[in-house]
C-alpha cells in the first residue's frame, strides 16, 4: 500500500511539474497586451506601426511569451524597466514572425548594461601561446543561454531602423543560428535542398564581402560580417530587416534566401 501511495504521489508530482508551467504560460499569453507596452513599441520600435495588423498581433503574442520565459538582469548599475524589456523583446521577436511558436528555447536570460561593456578574451596563437585581453562590446550572444546588450545602442539601433545596424537583431540572429547545434551561419532550415541553396548563396556572398573588406571597397553589408560565416549571417539579418529594398536590388539571391528563412518580406513595410 505504501509503495502504491508513493508511486501515485510521484506521478502526481511529475504531472503537476509539467502542467503548472504550461498553465502559467497559457495565462501569460492570453493576458491582454498592456497599452503602455504598445506605446513603448511605437516609441522605440518605429517599424511596429508599419507592419500589418496581423503581424502586430503575432508580435504581441511572441513578446508576452518572451517576457514570461526570459529573465532580465541589469548590469553596471542599470535598473531594468518595462521600456527595456519590451523594446528588446519586441525587436528580438521580429525575427520569429510567421514561424513556429518557439521563442528562443535555448535562451534563459538577457543581461543589459547601460553602455558598451568590457569582456575578457583569451586567444591561443600558433605554438600554443596564450594571450589574454579585454574587449569593449555592444552585444554578445553566448552558447550558455545568455544574450548581453548595451542599452544605449539598443535604443540607437531601434530608433534608426534604416541604417543596417541593430545590435538586438544581430545578437538574436546568433541565437537562431545556434539552434542547429553549431553557430556557423547555417540555422535550422526546412529540408536538405534548402541547405544546398543556402550554402551556395551564402558562401558566394561571404567570399564577396571578404574580398570587399580586403580591398577596402564599399559594401551594403557591414564588413564585420567578413569575420566568419556566423557574423555574416547576423550582419545579413540586420541588413535584410533594415535595408530590404537595397539588399533586394544589390544582393537579390541573398535577399531571397533570407526571405524564405524568415518568411516575411520587409519591403512590404516601407
pLDDT by residue (tens digit) across 169-191?
999 999 999 998 889 999 999 88
Exposure letters 87-115 (e unless 16+ CB within 10 A, then b): bbbbbbbbbbbeeeeebbeebeebbbbee
- The pLDDT, as a whole number, for residue 9 is 54
DSSP annotation of 150: E
Per-residue pLDDT at 99 exceeds 50: yes
CATH topology of domain 180-270: Collagenase (Catalytic Domain) (3.40.390)
201 vs 259: CA distance, rounded Å:
13
Over the stretch 105-149, which tens digit does the pLDDT of each residue have? 999 999 999 998 766 544 444 555 444 344 557 889 988 899 999
At 1, the pLDDT band (50, 70, 90 cuts) reads: low
Rg (CA), the chain: 21
88 vs 112: CA distance, rounded Å:
10
Q: Across residues 48-76, what is the average pLDDT?
A: 96
At 28, the pLDDT band (50, 70, 90 cuts) reads: low
Give the strand pairing for 139-141 and 71-74: unpaired
- The pLDDT, as a whole number, for residue 133 is 43
Q: Does 23-175 match 180-270 in CATH topology?
A: no
Range list of H helices, the chain:
2-30, 35-44, 53-69, 82-94, 151-159, 167-178, 192-214, 229-242, 244-250, 252-262
Q: Which has the higher per-residue pLDDT, 152 or 8? A: 152
87 vs 160: CA distance, rounded Å:
13
* Sole residue written with cell 537579390: 252
- The pLDDT, as a whole number, for residue 5 is 57
pTM of the model: 0.86
In the chain, what are the domain boundaries? 23-175, 180-270
Domain 23-175 falls under CATH 1.10.472.150: yes
Amino acid at each position: 500500500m505504501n509503495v502504491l501511495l508513493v508511486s501515485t504521489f510521484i506521478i502526481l508530482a511529475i504531472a503537476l511539474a509539467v502542467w503548472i508551467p504550461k498553465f502559467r504560460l497559457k495565462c501569460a499569453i492570453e493576458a491582454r497586451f498592456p497599452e503602455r507596452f504598445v506605446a513603448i513599441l511605437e516609441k522605440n520600435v518605429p517599424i511596429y506601426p508599419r507592419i500589418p495588423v496581423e503581424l502586430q498581433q503575432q508580435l504581441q503574442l511572441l513578446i508576452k511569451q518572451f517576457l514570461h520565459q526570459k529573465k532580465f538582469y541589469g548590469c553596471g548599475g542599470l535598473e531594468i524597466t518595462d521600456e527595456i524589456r519590451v523594446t528588446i523583446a519586441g525587436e528580438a521577436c521580429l525575427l520569429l514572425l510567421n514561424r513556429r511558436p518557439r521563442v528562443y528555447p535555448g535562451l534563459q536570460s538577457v543581461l543589459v548594461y547601460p553602455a558598451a561593456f568590457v569582456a575578457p578574451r583569451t586567444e591561443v596563437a600558433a605554438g600554443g601561446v596564450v594571450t589574454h585581453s579585454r574587449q569593449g562590446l555592444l552585444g554578445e550572444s553566448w552558447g550558455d543561454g545568455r544574450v548581453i546588450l548595451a542599452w544605449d545602442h539598443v535604443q540607437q539601433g531601434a530608433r534608426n531602423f534604416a541604417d543596417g545596424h541593430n545590435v538586438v537583431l544581430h545578437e538574436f540572429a546568433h541565437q537562431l543560428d545556434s539552434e542547429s547545434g553549431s553557430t556557423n551561419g547555417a540555422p535550422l532550415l526546412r529540408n536538405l535542398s534548402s541547405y544546398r541553396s543556402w550554402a551556395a548563396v551564402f558562401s558566394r556572398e561571404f567570399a564577396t564581402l571578404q574580398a570587399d573588406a580586403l580591398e577596402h571597397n564599399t559594401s551594403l553589408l557591414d564588413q564585420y560580417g567578413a569575420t566568419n560565416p556566423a557574423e555574416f549571417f547576423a550582419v545579413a539579418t540586420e541588413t535584410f530587416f533594415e535595408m530590404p529594398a537595397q539588399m533586394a536590388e544589390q544582393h537579390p539571391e541573398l535577399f531571397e534566401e533570407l526571405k524564405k528563412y524568415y518568411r516575411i518580406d520587409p519591403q512590404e513595410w516601407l
